[in-house]
Structure 1
Amino acid sequence: MGDGRVRLDMREIGTWVWRGIGGALAVGGMEIAADLGETPLALVPFATSIVVVMGMPEASPAQPRALVGGHLVSAFCGLAMLWLFGPSQVAAAAAVGVAMVAMRVTGTMHPPAAINPIIIVIEQLPASFLLVPVGLGAVLLALFAFVWHNAAHRGSWPRRGG
């Protein structure tokens, strides 16, 4: 199709429904955790990560190393830029640029994690944000994705060699 539309293969509808249910459950779980932890900003970095990990589990950014590492690396970059330059839009923008380079260099490219430095710099979040909710949230999402994807297709996630 030359009009930009994607053709839906009806043989894959079950897979997509399964992924959609998993994504909805993951977002719901993150919402509950954010409410219980009284950290509403905790949900922001993970909403788009959930779409990547649950909707495109075969993609490189959806793999555990990229998911967990990308969130940790980008959050660390945000904390470093906040410490060096204080809270400002320029520092937040620079933190995203530094995070992009750092994720590439460390092999942890996870585009949704780029929101972490913005939130950290603008909201002046403490270093503890790196561990909870960022680190813990990423690990919990990876564990959920492992169980969910492998319940449908044994050994399907993470991708081998990824």
Structure 2
Amino acid sequence: MRNSRHGHRNVLAGMVAGLGGALAIGAMEWFSVVAQYPLAVIPFATSIVLVIGSPEAEPAQPRALIGGHVVSALVGLAVLKLLGPHAWAAAAAVGLSILAMYVTGTFHPPAGINPLLVVSGNLPWTFLFVPVLAGAALLAAFALVWHRWVRRQPWPRRWL
């Protein structure tokens, strides 16, 4: 008997998801060149893997995708302002961002690197808008088009 993980349907679904992820990251890279700001500095690749590969998961919903990136970046910016660009402050910011994402209902694991990047890189407040908010919104828009128009499947389960 054939293992269901290797069936033709699952291989095709994996190919479609892989194509979607590659197209999304390619579009993000194109946007970053046009905007002259490197969107790839935050974990959009892992976000798109989650949103395209497991679209039914709670962390793959728009509230978590966009909110998690914004909340975690805000935590990083606040910690940076209060404590400075120290390694211990970056570690504290990651822990606090996990708490903040849980409390706000925006838990999105790939966003956990944002506060580390913000604090360790001593990044400005503008980082919150570009690349964080712009990139997360672009990924949500791509996922919506991908799931509804290409895969002909509903996404998201809910917006908020």
Q: 2:90 corresponds to which residue? A: 92
* RMSD over equivalenced CA pairs, Å: 1.9
1:75 to 33, 50, 73: 73
5+ residue gaps, structure 2, are none
1:86 corresponds to which letter in structure 2? G
CA distance, structure 1, for counterparts of residue 28 and residue 89 of structure 2:
28
- Please report how far the alpha carbon of residue 11 of structure 1 lies from its aligned counterpart in structure 2 after TM superposition: 2.0
CA distance, structure 2, for counterparts of residue 160 and residue 15 of structure 1:
22
**Equivalent residues in 2 for 1:24-103, closer than 5 Å:** 24-40=22-38, 42-43=39-40, 44-103=42-101
- Please report how far the alpha carbon of residue 19 of structure 1 lies from its aligned counterpart in structure 2 after TM superposition: 1.0
- Please report how far the alpha carbon of residue 155 of structure 1 lies from its aligned counterpart in structure 2 after TM superposition: 4.7
1:160–1:81 distance in 2 versus 1, CA, 3 Å: closer
Provide the aligned length of Structure 1 versus Structure 2: 157
SS in 1 for 2:140: helix
1:29–1:109 distance in 2 versus 1, CA, 3 Å: same
Return the TM-score normalized by structure 2.
0.90
2:156 to 144, 155, 158: 158
CA distance, structure 1, for counterparts of residue 46 and residue 82 of structure 2:
28
CA distance, structure 2, for counterparts of residue 93 and residue 34 of structure 1:
28
CA distance, structure 1, for counterparts of residue 111 and residue 159 of structure 2:
22
CA distance, structure 2, for counterparts of residue 115 and residue 6 of structure 1:
34
CA distance, structure 1, for counterparts of residue 86 and residue 141 of structure 2:
35
Point out 4+ residue stretches in structure 1 off by more than 3 angstroms.
Answer: 152-155
Return the TM-score normalized by structure 1.
0.89
- Please report how far the alpha carbon of residue 60 of structure 1 lies from its aligned counterpart in structure 2 after TM superposition: 0.9
CA distance, structure 2, for counterparts of residue 80 and residue 114 of structure 1:
15
Q: Single out whichever of 137-146 and 51-60 deviates more from structure 2.
A: 51-60
- Please report how far the alpha carbon of residue 39 of structure 1 lies from its aligned counterpart in structure 2 after TM superposition: 2.7
Identity of aligned residues (%): 55
1:87–1:20 distance in 2 versus 1, CA, 3 Å: same
